[in-house]
Amino acid sequence: MPSVREVRSKLPSTGVSIFATMSRLAAEHQAINLSQGFPDFDCAPDLVEAVARSLRDGHNQYAPMPGLPALREALADKIAALYGHRYDPATEILVTSGATEALFSTLIALVHPGDEVILFQPAYDSYAPAVELAGGVPRVVTLRPPAYRIDWDAVRAAITPRTRLLLVNTPHNPTGTILDAADVAELRRLAGAHDLIVVSDEVYEHIVFDGARHESLARDPELAARSVVISSFGKTYHTTGWKVGYLAAPAPLAAEVQRVHQFVTFSVNTPVQHAYAAFVRRDPLCADLSPFYQRKRDLFLSLMAGSRFRPLPCRGTYFQLMDYSAISDEDDQAFALRLIREHGVAAIPLSPFLQGAAPGPVLRFCFAKRDETLEGAAARLRTI
């Protein structure tokens, strides 16, 4: 038998995603899964019917590569209504196979070998690998607990002549923090002074709590002119498994991302795009989503009030960080594994979101679950 040539990994330090690992262990141990970020309840029945109707109507072939015109036009109107900036649906909006593909295609398109990219950690686990695959160099600025606010002096110190791009995430996974107006002003000054491209991961844009406003970079004309803003239908409509996202950017940036997208995905699920177009038109503001998830957050916090876990502030997303220092001095991965095996609850440790920084005694719990799921998990957690 001929020998197989040695494979040289492009991501030698990257293994299986922590999300896949913890969900697998949750299934093996029949644990309540508050780890991976997906709802355990269904999406709106009429959204399912809209997809079924699109299938029956024969919308079963390739959609246009940038996305259905009807969906891109609906998104342009939605963004204008929410944030006051109108993107050209023909040249400045791209429908992608999930927000992760939007992020990957954007970074592959805009980062060149040797370019430095500033990331804020804890960071979603796809950011650094995509930068590395593009030949770029991640430069990490660490957000410190318990507030996890951006230290803009640290950002200034991280910028070098090779810095090309800065990637932000608001509302932030996993910490639940949000950018405020002062953060946006600092970002505007730095990006302008150093001629940086900004990529803004805003997939939780409609999940912001306590009366706060989501500060999309599309709101700021100077930042919108140099930014790629990414969002997700999955988070908004409880349809993470359908894997459809989108991005909005000025035409020169969008054109470069589209060059990559056409060879990664080409086009995205056609009947689902038809259904989303109708839903975006019907409810562009999604005003009910923040109160829906704030009630979930508040329920989970009230159920955990009798436990030894200490909640950290959560201003958005559907994740709640919990400090377990009153329970154990184990590292976060060891404690998360014991939580599954001995107590039947799955959470996500923070260490996979970090490079070269201690996570502290903190786990991430997803509260995008049915009330009875949260009640069952909290009952087990209160016994620890």
pLDDT tens digits for range 301-337: 999 999 999 999 999 999 999 999 999 999 999 999 9
Q: How many CA atoms lie within 13 A of 331 on its CB side?
A: 7
Examine the pLDDT at 2 and tell me if it is beyond 70: no
Examine the pLDDT at 14 and tell me if it is beyond 80: no
Check whether residue 62 and residue 187 sit in a common domain: yes
Last residue of a domain, one of 236, 252, 282: 282
Structural domain tally of the chain? Answer: 2
Q: What is the pTM of this model?
A: 0.96
Q: How many residues does the chain have?
A: 384
Query: 139-153: string of b/e by CB count within 10 Å (b at 16+)?
Result: bbbbbebeebebebe
Distance between CA atoms of 82 and 86, rounded to whole angstroms?
A: 10
* Structural contact between residues 296 and 187, judged by C-beta atoms closer than 8 angstroms: no
Q: Which two tokens stand for residue 230?
A: 């990414």
Check whether residue 184 and residue 63 sit in a common domain: yes
In a domain, 6, yes or no: no
Share of the chain above pLDDT 70, in %: 99
Q: What is the pLDDT of residues 137-189, one digit of tens each?
A: 999 999 999 999 999 999 999 999 999 999 999 999 999 999 999 999 999 99
In a domain, 277, yes or no: yes
Q: Which two tokens stand for residue 321?
A: 């960080």
With cut-offs at 50, 70 and 90, classify the pLDDT of residue 256.
very high
- Separation of CA 367 from chain center: 15
Check whether residue 31 and residue 67 sit in a common domain: no
pLDDT of 19 reads: 77
Check whether residue 205 and residue 332 sit in a common domain: no
Tell me the pairing of strands 345-346 and 32-33: parallel
In a domain, 3, yes or no: no
Last residue of a domain, one of 282, 308, 342: 282
Nearest Cα neighbor of 184 from 212, 156, 150 is: 150
Examine the pLDDT at 346 and tell me if it is beyond 80: yes
Check whether residue 217 and residue 342 sit in a common domain: no
Check whether residue 36 and residue 64 sit in a common domain: no
In a domain, 250, yes or no: yes
Check whether residue 31 and residue 128 sit in a common domain: no
- Here the CATH number for the domain that contains residue 300 is 3.90.1150.10
Last residue of a domain, one of 241, 264, 282: 282
With cut-offs at 50, 70 and 90, classify the pLDDT of residue 18.
confident
Amino acid letter for position 176:
G
Examine the pLDDT at 3 and tell me if it is beyond 70: no
Q: What is the pLDDT of residues 177-221, one digit of tens each?
A: 999 999 999 999 999 999 999 999 999 999 999 999 999 999 999
In a domain, 310, yes or no: yes
Q: What is the mean pLDDT of residues 239-263?
A: 98
pLDDT of 6 reads: 81
- Here the CATH number for the domain that contains residue 108 is 3.40.640.10
Check whether residue 214 and residue 324 sit in a common domain: no
Distance between CA atoms of 105 and 261, rounded to whole angstroms?
A: 6
With cut-offs at 50, 70 and 90, classify the pLDDT of residue 1.
low
Check whether residue 35 and residue 114 sit in a common domain: no
User: What residues make up the domain containing 310?
Assistant: 18-43+287-381
Check whether residue 143 and residue 23 sit in a common domain: no
Q: What is the pLDDT of residues 42-83, one digit of tens each?
A: 999 999 999 999 999 999 999 999 999 999 999 999 999 999
In a domain, 12, yes or no: no
Q: How far apart are the first and last CA of the chain?
A: 55
In a domain, 8, yes or no: no
pLDDT of 20 reads: 80
Q: What is the mean pLDDT of residues 352-377?
A: 95
Q: Which two tokens stand for residue 156?
A: 């200034």
Check whether residue 95 and residue 123 sit in a common domain: yes
In a domain, 128, yes or no: yes
Check whether residue 69 and residue 118 sit in a common domain: yes
pLDDT of 268 reads: 98
Q: Which two tokens stand for residue 190?
A: 């730095």
Distance between CA atoms of 81 and 225, rounded to whole angstroms?
A: 18
